[in-house]
Copies of this chain bind each other. A is one copy, B any other.
Amino acid sequence: MKLEKIAIATGNEHKVEEIRNLLGPLPLIVTGLPPGGEMPAETGNEFRENARIKAQYGFKLTGLPTLADDSGLEVDALQGAPGVHSARYAGEGAGAAANNKKLLQALEGIENRRARFRCSIVLVMDDMSIEADGTCEGIILDGPRGRGGFGYDPLFMLPELGKTMAEISQQEKNAISHRGRAMANLVAALKARGLL
């Protein structure tokens, strides 16, 4: 019983593109949700919980195996904030620029800049769901660098590469990002279970 077609449940167009891209080489038809719906509130305290909420929502809507991710930035000096609130750190709908500004202010004068992106991905099917995680370690800069990516990417320096997440190619990002790693883990789990 192989997967043939899946839906991606997200309100973020950037994520749809990244996930399509990550799934590109696989023999899968990838569809979004029907337009017009509003994504459910992400009320979970953990990335996995929010990914589950979104994937269950998409599964109910489409009847297709549905994949959703939830991801965010954990900053050590901020006790793991913004965490599950990453997308709305500066307020609901405030956007990436405001979030980045708030993060820089919160870290002003602070020496410990260690942080990590985390991603959880959940694939919900009729009688089973599969979950996977990925992380990516880095350093928060004093200001943005690069024009790629989205969200906190321009502030997130990858020490091994000497570049921010906004300065690397999509291909590099797929290989080392939290989302790329979570997806690789999910794909491995699906293959191990004969679903791909």
A131 on interface, CB distance cutoff 8 Å: yes
The main secondary structure of chain A at its interface with chain B is mixed
Q: In the complex, which residues of chain B have a beta carbon less than 8 angstroms from the beta carbon of A56?
A: 49
A160 on interface, CB distance cutoff 8 Å: no
- Cβ contact within 8 Å between B189 and A127: yes
- Shortest A130–chain B CB gap in Å is 5
Q: In the complex, which residues of chain B have a beta carbon less than 8 angstroms from the beta carbon of A128?
A: 128-131, 189
- Shortest A103–chain B CB gap in Å is 29
Q: Which of A91-143 contact B (CB under 8 A)?
A: 126-132
Q: In the complex, which residues of chain B have a beta carbon less than 8 angstroms from the beta carbon of A131?
A: 126-129
Which of B52, B127, B130 contacts A127, CB < 8 Å?
B130
Work out how many copies of this chain go into the complex. Answer: 2
Separation of A128 and B127 alpha carbons in the complex (Å): 11
Q: In the complex, which residues of chain B have a beta carbon less than 8 angstroms from the beta carbon of A126?
A: 131
Separation of A126 and B127 alpha carbons in the complex (Å): 16
- Shortest A132–chain B CB gap in Å is 6
A-B contact pairs, 11 of them (CB 8 A): A49-B56, A126-B131, A127-B130, A127-B131, A127-B189, A128-B128, A128-B130, A128-B131, A129-B129, A129-B131, A193-B193
* 6 nearest CB pairs, A to B: A129-B129, A127-B131, A128-B130, A127-B189, A127-B132, A193-B193
